[in-house]
Amino acid sequence: MFFRLKPLVPALIAACLAAPAFAADVIRIGVGGAHTGDLASYGVPSLNAARIVAEEINAAGGILGMRVEIVPQDDQCKPEMGTNAATKLVSDKVNAVVGHICSGPTKAVLPIYTEARLVAISPSATSPELTTDGNAPYFFRTIARDDQQAQLGATFALDTLNVKKIALIHDKGDYGKGYIDYAKAYIEKSGKARIVLYEGITVGAVDYSAILQKLRQSGADLIMFGGYHPEASKLVQQMHRRRIAIPFLSDDGVKDDQFIKVAGKDAEGVFASGPKDVTALAMNKAARDAHIKKFGSEPGAFYDNGYAATLALLKAMEKAGTATDADKIAETLRTNLVDTPLGSIKFGRTGDAEGIGFDIYTVKNGKFVVVN
């Protein structure tokens, strides 16, 4: 007996023939970072980037004949949640990790990944300690270090803004305090300006009037802040209400559109360092267009870095011929160039990406633009 195929069946056969053929196994990439909470604007863009890279690679046939699967874990940029997220990713048997986002959680999770022999690439954790103590052989990052951006900020303050009295304020965290301490050392060594105030603030506080009173009494002609956008937005708003009209200079924890949304008109004129502007690169434009197509919006902070981290990781697996041997993957990352939205990069022996740096930005007409 013969049967006629229904019209849908040939279409399904054609679709199956056109789709990439994958092995039963998958490559599972964990993505750890702030996916909810006050700092989600830092973590979600990197998660979006990882998903886009995975989709593009899967559409092209996958890696080593396997499909890439993204496994997110939220840490809200909190160390204690970071360790929980890392433990869950290890138990979920991920092959490698993109993350984490903030320096504090990243520092907390590295022993877990090292023991599990998992390569991790952070898009945005900038603390120098992460790559200088030699205890994290499988850790890499696609962003420059705090000591580099602190020197850039301090040089900008001293040589471009020509300030002579500087107030240094930080949020007491690994990232914010680390950035300010590096800036402090550079300023003191230069001898070009005096540090007239050095203070830590309480994260989540509503009223910063006490610290702003000290700022006014110090006679500072610049405030340099180390921390993230929620505290920075409150500081600049309260400074304006108290008519403290001095420049505000900060780090890449503030160079985020969410800072502008919250601070509003008070954000105008604020300076912040951030990853070097690479929007002119064709691959960068293509990556950003992919985000707009999929999510209907411009990507946020560290999207480029997250895209580069995911792509570099998967390409290293492909080049090394393995998704499970961390030593081979790590050595491939250190010895082979890969084209990314940040440019053509590889990693030094410590895990820092070579050729990646920072620019100084300022808020102008509601947008961050590079200071020329």
pLDDT tens for residues 107-151?
Answer: 999 999 999 999 999 999 999 999 987 779 999 999 999 999 999
Q: What is the CATH number of the domain that holds 205?
A: 3.40.50.2300
Do 163 and 100 have their domain in common?
A: no
pLDDT at 332 over 90: yes
Do 206 and 290 have their domain in common?
A: no
Residue pair 170/201 in contact by the 8 Å Cβ criterion: yes
Q: Is residue 266 part of a domain?
A: no
Q: Is residue 213 part of a domain?
A: yes
Q: Is residue 182 part of a domain?
A: yes
256-262 mean pLDDT: 95
Determine whether 237 is exposed, middle or buried from the number of CB atoms within 10 Å of its CB (0-12, 13-18, 19+). Answer: middle
Separation CA 284–CA 292 (nearest Å): 13
Do 139 and 151 have their domain in common?
A: no
Do 21 and 121 have their domain in common?
A: yes
- Summarised one tens digit per residue, pLDDT across range 194-250 is 999 999 999 999 999 999 999 999 999 999 999 999 999 999 999 999 999 999 999
Residue 240, preceding peptide bond in cis (omega within 30° of 0): no
- Which residues form the domain of 162? 147-251
Q: Tally the domains of the chain.
A: 2
Do 78 and 162 have their domain in common?
A: no
Do 193 and 305 have their domain in common?
A: no
Region of 77 on the Ramachandran plot (φ > 0 left; ψ -120 to 50 alpha; else beta): left
Do 102 and 164 have their domain in common?
A: no
